[in-house]
Amino acid sequence: MNILQKKPRIKATLKYLVVLVLVLLVTIFQDFLNSRTNEYPFFASESVLINSFWVLILPVSFLLNWLFQKVSIHDKLPNLFLKRFIFVLVATLIHMLLFAGLLHLISASFYEHTIRFMQNLQFTISQDLYKYLLIYSVIALVLIKKKKHVKST
């Protein structure tokens, strides 16, 4: 891979990081405003930890897309809607489980209060499931395209 091929990747990665930081800042600010409105203390470190689920979106998406291609899911399922639907469900499930596990490990290691795995998973399902489904639906539309059939002459 030469330098010309690396530049677009670097630019794309930087754009992703900038968007990720902006989203995290907005969600942290939203938590701050919510704490002031509902009159409870705001802890920036906890807000960053809980809102860090955004960090996992692209890695989960690309890993799952790679896995789908490796196991030829795209070839085994002829229906484009079904491919995308399965991608969204599997990505959502993997993301929620991975996030609940990471949150548990990080909070147990660095915080006085440990956020239990099941507690976080239940909270995520009850409060954030629609976010995961929406985000991964958009990603599925981008990543999983209809294959073009090449006509033989």
Domain ranges of the chain: 1-42, 49-143
Residues 46-96 have pLDDT tens digits of: 888 888 888 899 899 999 999 988 888 767 887 888 989 999 999 999 999
Mind listing the pLDDT tens digit for each residue in 131-142?
999 999 999 998
Distance CA 11, CA 17 (A): 10
Tell me the whole-structure pTM to 2 decimals. 0.77
Give me the phi and psi of 42, to 5 degrees please.
-105, 130
Nearest Cα neighbor of 48 from 31, 36, 65 is 31
Asked whether the beta carbons of 68 and 87 are under 8 A apart, the reply is yes
- Nearest of 133, 68, 143 to residue 95 by alpha carbon: 133
How confident is the model over 32-54, as a mean pLDDT? 87
DSSP 150: P
Q: Which residue has the higher pLDDT, 85 or 149?
A: 85
Q: What is the percent of the chain with per-residue pLDDT over 90, rounded to a whole number?
A: 38
pLDDT beyond 60 at 5: no
